[in-house]
Structure 1
C-alpha cells in the first residue's frame, strides 16, 4: 500500500477497497504533501486562538488536549472537505452522499491504549487522520490491528474482550500486542474504520494530530440513530455539531455532506448545558 500520489493518479482503486474491507485501514503516503505547510499553519493558528489550552488549562505535555469541532475553526482546514483527493476517499468508501461528522484536533501526550472509536452500528463510520509530526513505531505512530473491525467474528470479538487485559491473558503489555505500525510523515493521510482497534505507544507530549470523521448517510427511517450518535458531542460543551466557519463557508457540494447532521443536531445545546453542570471541564477525547 506504500505508494505516492499525484493529481493525475486514481486515489482509491479496487485494490484499496478490498484492502480496506479486509483489514480495516488504508495509508496514503504523501497524499497532501503539496499543502501540508498551510495545513500545519492553520492547525497552529487554531490552537493559538485557544491560547494552547484545553478549555483554559495550558497544555503542558502531561495529558491530551482536545478541541471539538476542530477543522471547523479555520477556513483552510474546512477546505480539506472540498479537496478532490479527500472527497475521492470518502465517496469511494461511503458513497457520494456521505456525512461529515464532528471531528477533533489534538495535542496528544503519552500512550493511547487499544480501543475502537465505535462499533454499535452497521452504518460505516471512518476516520481520516492527519499526523503533523514525523512519527515512528517507537515515537507514537498509530498502530492498528488488521481485521479487528470484523465485529461478530471470533477473532475480533476476542480482541475486544481481551485487549484491555493483555498482561493477564497473554503476558504482554499493550505495546507488545502484534499490530501494524503506520509510521507517518507530515502530508501522509491515514484512514481507518471506526471499529478497527488502534493505539499508540512511546510518543511525546506535543504530538499534533487532527481528524475528519465521516460516515454513510443514515436512511431517513434511521435518523434517530444519528441523533443518538450526536449525543456524544455534548461532552465537548458545544451547541452544534459543526463550527460556524464550516457552515458559513460551505458551497453546495460541501453542504451536501453537512445537511443531514445540521437537520438533526438541535438537541445538542441542551445536552451540553447539562454536561457543563456535571463535568469539571470538556472532554479530552
Structure 2
C-alpha cells in the first residue's frame, strides 16, 4: 500500500488505479482538446472532497449566499487544498490514478499543479488558461453539484487547443472583448461551444490551451488539479514553472500557513519522484509566508 493510499484512507479506487484509456478516448482528447470521464470518483470520494472544499473556503472567506447582481465574469474564491486537513485532495493529487491519466494524455511523465477548492460566484466568459506554446499541461475539474448549459457547465470550442487555432481565437477575443458587465447571452451566441454537463463524480479533463467558458451559473463549487509534462528544454522549464506557480503571484489572500500551496510531503527527503522535478525547477522556493 502506498504512502498516499494510507493517508487518504485507501477506499478510493481512483487514487492509485486507473484503467488505461482506450484509443477512442485518446484520439478524442488529442483531436478536440477535452474529455469527459463519467463516474470517475465514487460517492464517498465526492462527499469527502465536497467537505474539504466547502469547509476550507468557509474558514478562509466570507462567502456569498446569493448570485451577484452584476456578472463580472471573474468573481470567485480560491484555496489550495494540500494541507493535512485535506487528505482526500492530497491523495487524489499525488495518487497514481490521476498521475497516470496525465501521463497517458500528455505522453510523458507529469507533475501536479497543486489542487484547489473553488467557489465560482458568477459566470466565466470565453478564455484559455495558458498561451505558451511550450507548455504541455492538462486540467482536471470536478464539479460538486450537477451543472448543465444553463447552470455553469464548462463549454469548449473543440480543437481550439491547437496552437494556431488557439492564437486565432485570442485575436478574435481581442477584436471582440468581453462586455462589462458580462453579456452571457452574447458569449453563448457568438462562440460555437460544446457543453460538457456533469454530475458529481464526473471529471472533465482539458488541454490548458483550449478556449472554454462557463455561463449562466453561480455559486458552484469545484475541485481542480492540473498536470504538467516534466519539461526537457529551457523554454519548457520556464513555461512549466510560470504555469505552476502563477497561483502564488495573482494576489489571492488567505492564511498560507494553514493552507500551504505545496503538499508538505513534497518538501521532505522522501518526496515523490515528480516532486524532485518540481524542486529542480525551483518551485518550492516560491511558497510565501502568511498574508
What's the secondary structure of 2:58's corresponding residue? Answer: coil
CA distance 1:46–1:121, change in 2 (3 Å): same
CA distance 1:90–1:201, change in 2 (3 Å): same
What's the secondary structure of 2:170's corresponding residue? Answer: helix
Aligned match of 1:26? 35
Query: Bigger CA drift: 125-134 or 234-243?
Result: 234-243
What's the secondary structure of 2:201's corresponding residue? Answer: coil
1:70 paired residue among 70, 81, 84: 81
Q: How does 1:165-244 map to 2 (within 5 A)?
A: 165=176, 173-176=186-189, 177-205=191-219, 207-219=220-232, 221-222=234-235, 223-234=237-248, 235=250, 236=252, 241-244=261-264
Confirm or deny: 8 A CA contact 1:31 1:189 kept in the other structure.
yes
* Deviation of 1:139 (Å): 0.9
TM-score, structure 1 length as denominator? 0.76
CA distance 1:265–1:86, change in 2 (3 Å): closer
What's the secondary structure of 2:164's corresponding residue? Answer: coil
Q: How does 1:9-158 map to 2 (within 5 A)?
A: 10-32=19-41, 34=42, 36-54=43-61, 57-61=62-66, 62=68, 63-67=75-79, 69-72=80-83, 74-95=86-107, 97-153=109-165, 156-158=166-168
Aligned match of 2:286? 268
Matches of 1:9 and 1:265, distance apart in 2 = 28
CA distance 1:53–1:230, change in 2 (3 Å): same
Matches of 1:114 and 1:85, distance apart in 2 = 30
* Deviation of 1:230 (Å): 4.2
Aligned match of 2:7? none
RMSD: 3.2
Matches of 2:270 and 2:149, distance apart in 1 = 39
Matches of 1:111 and 1:219, distance apart in 2 = 37
2:254 is the counterpart of 1:247: no
Report how many aligned residue pairs link the two structures. Answer: 254
What's the secondary structure of 1:152's corresponding residue? Answer: helix
Kindly provide the CA deviation profile for residues 94-134 of structure 1, in whole angstroms up to 9, marking residues without a partner as x. 34521111332111112111111102132311001111101
Confirm or deny: 8 A CA contact 1:233 1:268 kept in the other structure.
no
Matches of 1:10 and 1:157, distance apart in 2 = 34
* Deviation of 1:157 (Å): 3.1
Which sections of structure 1, spanning at least 5 residues, go unmatched?
Answer: 1-5, 277-285
Kindly provide the CA deviation profile for residues 8-57 of structure 1, in whole angstroms up to 9, marking residues without a partner as x. 9844112222111111001111122x2x3333334323532453543xx3
TM-score, structure 2 length as denominator? 0.74
Matches of 1:38 and 1:233, distance apart in 2 = 25
Confirm or deny: 8 A CA contact 2:18 2:100 kept in the other structure.
no
